[in-house]
Every structure is written in structure tokens, then in C-alpha cells.
């Protein structure tokens, strides 16, 4: 199988075309390829497929390092937009995925902007078990009662505000919230430190992966929740462990745009 290794702020991927006339790799094969000692190593595998509708340039599917399939990946969407744009010779790429339709734009400064759609706060969209939609939900985890926001960016996110991301209990609360019974399909978990109305720091424990260097949809979710809580302005700098993403969201009913790098590391082939 031929593949391209890419990353967005250290959130790394293999990107490959779906093999013609063959099944996709099994979950076991994805887990083996994701191993950083004996495989290629990646957070997600991004599978490119022919568009299912005529006005799109590509359809893609996303598989986590644990072999599970997920709906959307923001850093991955930027990498796909960069790769496909270079293939087809266009700066604007229309993409489709299980998490929804997106548009990627290659900028003159080398960064990639992606229209991530309208944040969906309905509990059913994640899904999240709640009697009604709310800005803040109490979530019992062991002896602690957390206060979280919940939003779908095509995939599920729980976001909590913390005084300092450096001291946030990501390793313990991350998996506990990810696998909480109120999230039937599990969830990504964001730990957000608000530095100013235009600047946050963020760590994300990703569903099926663990903590990553950056999470594009996690950055989108954090800004959407922070805006809903009245803490953030329209354009926000999000500092992840791997670097910086810029999120712009005018507000309810409007599309949210994410801007950041998409880097090609190398190309190769692997036996599957």
C-alpha cells in the first residue's frame, strides 16, 4: 500500500487512496500500522475515496490508531485539502466525509483554512444523554462533579475550563470522560485554559487515540463552547502542545473556520 505521512501541528496521519477492488485494512491492521515502534506510527489513518457526489473533489474516511472509525478530523481535513489540492491543481477543494461536507482553501502564506460547518449543540448530535440542551452540564466522574460543555463538530466533544492546562489531569479525567456512560459513542475531551478573549491554551484527549499534540476539531469545539459561555471573541488563537491554530466563528448559525499548517513528511509503501 502506498501512503503519504503528514501532520498538522504534530497530530500525525497516514493518507492513502482506497485500494481499487479491495477491502480496506482491518482494525487489527490499522492498529499494527499505527504502532510507533513496529509500524509507521500515526494518530489517524485517512482514506481517500472517489467523491459520492459530482460537485465534490474527494470523499474521505478516518480510522483512529485503535482501529475504530470516526466521523471527522480537523487537522486531517487540512492535510487532505493540501494533498488533494496539489493533485488537482486547485486552491479550493470540496470534501465530503461521514462527519459532513467541508471546504479546504490553500492560502498564499502556506497555511490551510477549512470550513468546519456550523457547531451543533444538540445533545442528540454527539450523542450525549441529557434531558435538554444546556450551555453547561454537570458530569459525575467518580467523586468529582465536572462542569462541561458539549458540542458536535461532526464528531463529539466535551470541553471543560481549567485554570492551567499544564496542571490539568488529562491522563486521568481524559479517559474517564471519553468512556462516560452518558456518551454512548465515546467522546473527545478538551481541557481549555482561557488566557484572554482572543487566546486560549488547549489539551485534548482524543477518542480512540489518547492525548495528541493537537486536535483540530477539539480547537473548534473549545472556541465554540468558549464563545457560548461568553468568554471568547470571534477570532481566537488556540495554542496546542504542537503549535497554533486560528479559529474564527462569527456565532450561532454561522460556519466555523479553522486555519493552520498541513505538512507532508514523506511518502512510502508498506506491506499490509
Residue 259 pLDDT = 98
Query: 40, 48, 70, 73: which one is catalytic?
Result: 73
Contact of 242 with 203, CB cutoff 8 Å: no
Average pLDDT over residues 36-42: 96
- What is the spatial distance between Cα 1 and Cα 16, in angstroms, rounded to a whole number? 8
Position 22 pLDDT exceeds 90:
no
Position 54 pLDDT exceeds 90:
no
Compute the chain's Rg from CA coordinates.
Answer: 18
Concerning whether 215 is annotated as a catalytic residue, the answer is: yes
Concerning whether 79 is annotated as a catalytic residue, the answer is: no
DSSP 31: H
Contact of 190 with 201, CB cutoff 8 Å: no
pLDDT in tens, 74-107: 999 999 999 999 999 999 999 999 999 999 999 9
Residue 241 pLDDT = 96
For the 2-116+261-269 domain, the top CATH level (class) is alpha beta
Query: 6, 85, 150, 215: which one is catalytic?
Result: 215
pLDDT in tens, 188-200: 999 999 999 999 9
Residue 91, classified by CB atoms within 10 Å of its CB into exposed (0-12), middle (13-18) or buried (19+), is middle
Return the CATH architecture of domain 123-254.
Roll (3.10)
pLDDT in tens, 239-270: 999 999 999 999 999 999 999 999 999 999 99
- What is the spatial distance between Cα 54 and Cα 58, in angstroms, rounded to a whole number? 10
Q: Could you give the residue range(s) of every CATH 3.10.310.10 domain in the chain? A: 2-116+261-269, 123-254
pLDDT in tens, 134-174: 999 999 999 999 999 999 999 999 999 999 999 999 999 99
User: Of 241 and 19, which is predicted with more confidence?
Assistant: 241
Query: In which band, very low, low, confident or very high, does the pLDDT at 20 lie, cut at 50, 70 and 90?
Result: confident
Contact of 85 with 93, CB cutoff 8 Å: yes
* SS3 assignment, position 79: helix
Amino acid at each position: 500500500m502506498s501512503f503519504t505521512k503528514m501532520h498538522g501541528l504534530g497530530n500525525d496521519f497516514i493518507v492513502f487512496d482506497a485500494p481499487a477492488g479491495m477491502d480496506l485494512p482491518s482494525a487489527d491492521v490499522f492498529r499494527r500500522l499505527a504502532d510507533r515502534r513496529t509500524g509507521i506510527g500515526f494518530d489517524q489513518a485517512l482514506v481517500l475515496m472517489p467523491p459520492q457526489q459530482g460537485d465534490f473533489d474527494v470523499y474521505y474516511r478516518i480510522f483512529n490508531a485503535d482501529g475504530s472509525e470516526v466521523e471527522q478530523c480537523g487537522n486531517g481535513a487540512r492535510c487532505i485539502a493540501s494533498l488533494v489540492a496539489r493533485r488537482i491543481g486547485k486552491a479550493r477543494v470540496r470534501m465530503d466525509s461521514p462527519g459532513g461536507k467541508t471546504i479546504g482553501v490553500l492560502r498564499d502564506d502556506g497555511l490551510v483554512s477549512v470550513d468546519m460547518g456550523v457547531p451543533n449543540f444538540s445533545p442528540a448530535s454527539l450523542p450525549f444523554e441529557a434531558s435538554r440542551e444546556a450551555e453547561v452540564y454537570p458530569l459525575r466522574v467518580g467523586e468529582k462533579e465536572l462542569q462541561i460543555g458539549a458540542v458536535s463538530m461532526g464528531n463529539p466533544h466535551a470541553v471543560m475550563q481549567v485554570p492551567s492546562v499544564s496542571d490539568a489531569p488529562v491522563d486521568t479525567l481524559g479517559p474517564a470522560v471519553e468512556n462516560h456512560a452518558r456518551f454512548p459513542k465515546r467522546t473527545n475531551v478538551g481541557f481549555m485554559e482561557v488566557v484572554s478573549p482572543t487566546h486560549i491554551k488547549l489539551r485534548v484527549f482524543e477518542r480512540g487515540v489518547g492525548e495528541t499534540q493537537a486536535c483540530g476539531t477539539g480547537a473548534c469545539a473549545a472556541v465554540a463552547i468558549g464563545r457560548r459561555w461568553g468568554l471568547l471573541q470571534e477570532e481566537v488563537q488556540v495554542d496546542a502542545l504542537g503549535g497554533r491554530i486560528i479559529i474564527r466563528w462569527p456565532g450561532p448559525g454561522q460556519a466555523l473556520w479553522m486555519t493552520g499548517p498541513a505538512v507532508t513528511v514523506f511518502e512510502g509503501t508498506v506491506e499490509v
